[in-house]
Amino acid sequence: MTLSILDLAPIVSGGTAHGALSNTLDLARRAEEFGYHRYWLAEHHFAPGVASSAPAVLVALVAAATSTIRVGSGAVQLGHQTPLSVVEQFGLIDALYPGRVDLGIGRSGQRRSEPAEPAERAGLEPKVAERAGSEPGAAGRAGSEPEVVERPRARTVGGLLIPPPFDWSHLAKHPQLVYQASLLQQPGARTPDFAGQIDDVLAFLNGTHEARAVPGEGADVQVWILGSSGGQSAQVAGERGLPFAANYHVSPSSVLEAVEAYREAFKPSDALAEPYVIVSADAVVAEDEAKARELAGPYGLWVRSIRTGAGAMPYPTPAEAGAHVWTAADRELVKDRVDTQFVGAPEQVAERLRVLRRVTGADELLVTTITHDHVDRVRSYELLAEAWNRQ
C-alpha cells in the first residue's frame, strides 16, 4: 500500500509516557494488520506531550513488536549526533531485523548562517539555528515612511491548498529554545556541513569509509532525507540519488518547492534509478465528518503550544480544547496547519489525500494522526486504509 505512518508517540492530557509508548507499539501492530507500508518514529525534544525523543530506541522496539512492516526514523536529527553513532544504532537494529529498516535523516540542529529551512519538520521541535541578523528596514529609520510588505496569500494548486509561509522569526532567538538547543550538543561542538555528514553515513554503510562501523557496515538500511523546503536537504537527497520525504503536514507552504528542487537535483544512484518521494499529511478520520471534526478539535490548540515556544502540550480532550478562548492572533498562529489538516469521513479524506498525491507527484504518503483517545487514533488509520484500498 502507498500509505505509511509517522508517529510522535503523543502523550495525552492525563496520560503518561508509559501509556504513550504502549500505544505506539499497539498502533504499529495494528498498522501492520491494516497493510500500511512503513511505520516511522519522529525525534522530538523538550515537549511535555511527546514521548518520541530517541527514535533509534523506538524503531528497535517497534521492529521487535512487528514482523513485516518497514520501520524507521522520521527523522534522526543529524545536528545532534555523529554519522558514526547513527550508523551504529541503525546497523544494530538491522542486524536483528534485516531488510526492514529505514534511516530517515533530518538537518535540524545544525548551526549555520544561511537562512534555515522551515523549522517544524515531521513532527519535530522548531529548530534553533544561528541566523544572520537582519538590518533595520526603512521603518526603523527616523523620518522615513513605513515599509509596506505584502504578505503572501493562500493559493490553490490543482485542488491542493498552499497557504502562506509561517513566520518563525518570533521564535528564532527565543531564550528558552536557544537554551534547549544548547543541551542537545556538547559545549563548543560544531556540526559539520550536512552534505558531508550524509556522505559519511553512506560511506560507513557501504564500507568505503576509512573507519569501520560495527554493526552498520554492509547493513541493508534504506537511507532517506527529510526536508521542508527546496534547500540543502532536497538538494543533497537529489544529488546523492536518495529517496526524499517532503513535509506538507508542518510546512505546507513549501512542499511543492521542496519536491521540485529534489527532482531537479536528482542523479541516479545504486539506491535509486529515478526520484522517489514521500509527502506527509496530517489526517483524522471517523465514521462521519461531524465525529472526525470533534476528534480533530484539539489540534489547533496543540499546534499553538508548539508555535508559542512552549513545546507540544499533552494532547487535550475535545472538551479541554473547547474551553480555550481563541484570539485573532491565536487563530492566525495556527491557520496554515488547521486549514491543511485532512479531516472527515473515510471517502472524503481518501479523496483529498489523492489530490495531495497527484499535485505533488508523491509515490507514497506518510500520514500522522493524533487524537486524545487511542482507540480513535487506531480506528482513524483503519478507516483510512479501508477507503484507500477500495479506490
Packing angle, helices 17-34 and 55-65, rounded to 10: 50
Is the pLDDT score of 232 beyond 50? yes
> Which residue, among 98, 23, 88, has the nearest Cα to 67 in the 3D structure?
98
Question: Looking at residue 150, what is its pLDDT?
Answer: 62
Question: Which CATH number does the domain 3-129+152-390 belong to among 3.40.920.10, 3.40.50.300, 3.20.20.30, 3.20.190.10?
Answer: 3.20.20.30
Question: Looking at residue 177, what is its pLDDT?
Answer: 82
> Which residue, among 227, 238, 4, has the nearest Cα to 124 in the 3D structure?
227
pLDDT, one tens digit per residue, over 86-141 is: 999 999 999 999 999 999 999 976 554 434 444 333 333 333 333 223 222 333 33
The rounded percent of the chain whose pLDDT value lies above 90 is 80
Question: Looking at residue 294, what is its pLDDT?
Answer: 98
pLDDT, one tens digit per residue, over 267-304 is: 999 999 999 999 999 999 999 999 999 999 999 999 99
Question: Looking at residue 303, what is its pLDDT?
Answer: 97
Residue 167 pLDDT level (bands cut at 50, 70, 90): confident
Question: Looking at residue 131, what is its pLDDT?
Answer: 28
> Phi first, then psi: what are they for 36, rounded to 5°?
-65, 150
- Do 292 and 344 form a contact (C-beta atoms < 8 A)? yes
> Average pLDDT, whole number, for the chain?
90
Write the CB contacts of 204 (distance below 8 Å, at least 6 apart in sequence): 83, 84, 87, 211, 212, 213, 216, 217
The rounded percent of the chain whose pLDDT value lies above 70 is 89
Question: Looking at residue 111, what is its pLDDT?
Answer: 52
- Beta-carbon-side half-sphere exposure of residue 372 (alpha carbons within 13 Å): 21
Is the pLDDT score of 327 beyond 80? yes
pLDDT, one tens digit per residue, over 150-164 is: 668 899 999 999 999
pLDDT, one tens digit per residue, over 181-226 is: 888 888 888 889 999 999 999 999 999 999 999 999 999 999 999 9
- Do 195 and 390 form a contact (C-beta atoms < 8 A)? no
Exposed / middle / buried, residue 309 (Cβ in 10 Å: 0-12, 13-18, 19+) = middle
Question: Looking at residue 142, what is its pLDDT?
Answer: 37
Helix or strand or coil: residue 340? coil
Cα(118)–Cα(249) distance, rounded to whole angstroms? 12
Cα(164)–Cα(254) distance, rounded to whole angstroms? 9
Domain ranges of the chain: 3-129+152-390
Q: Of residues 19 and 120, which shows the higher confidence score? A: 19
- Cell 504518503 belongs to residue: 365
C-alpha cell at 33: 494488520
Cα(68)–Cα(147) distance, rounded to whole angstroms? 57
Question: Looking at residue 114, what is its pLDDT?
Answer: 39
Is the pLDDT score of 148 beyond 50? no
Is the pLDDT score of 78 beyond 70? yes
For residues 215-239, give the mean pLDDT: 97
- Do 222 and 270 form a contact (C-beta atoms < 8 A)? no
pLDDT, one tens digit per residue, over 359-380 is: 999 999 999 999 999 999 999 9
